[in-house]
């Protein structure tokens, strides 16, 4: 069992990290990565960006789960 406050805190942090990641990938990197590419190359580059986002999201979810379990265990014991 994981303490509700721990979960809420971790979800807020995760949401902030995901917002930052999306802003980085879509507002900062997207334009420069698409310059000079044709439609097919843009699709490939877009797929790479999605893969990069998925990789970071999955790593963050694993970290959040581990940290939540650890914090919850520490608060119980």
14-46 pLDDT tens trace: 899 999 999 999 999 999 999 999 999 999 999
3-state SS of the chain: helix, strand, coil percent to 5?
A: 90, 0, 10
Paired tokens of 53 = 């986002």
Q: Is residue 4 predicted with pLDDT exceeding 90?
A: no
Rounded to whole angstroms, the Cα distance separating 62 from 56 reads 10
pLDDT at 54: 95
What's this model's pTM, rounded to 2 decimal places? 0.75
């Amino acid at each position: 069992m994981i303490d509700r406050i721990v979960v809420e805190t971790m979800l807020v942090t995760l949401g902030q990290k995901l917002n930052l990641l999306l802003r980085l990938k879509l507002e900062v990197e997207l334009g420069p990565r698409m310059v000079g590419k044709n439609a097919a190359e843009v699709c490939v580059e877009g797929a790479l960006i999605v893969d990069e986002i998925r990789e970071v999201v999955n790593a963050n979810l694993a970290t959040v789960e581990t940290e939540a379990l650890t914090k919850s265990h520490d608060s119980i014991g």
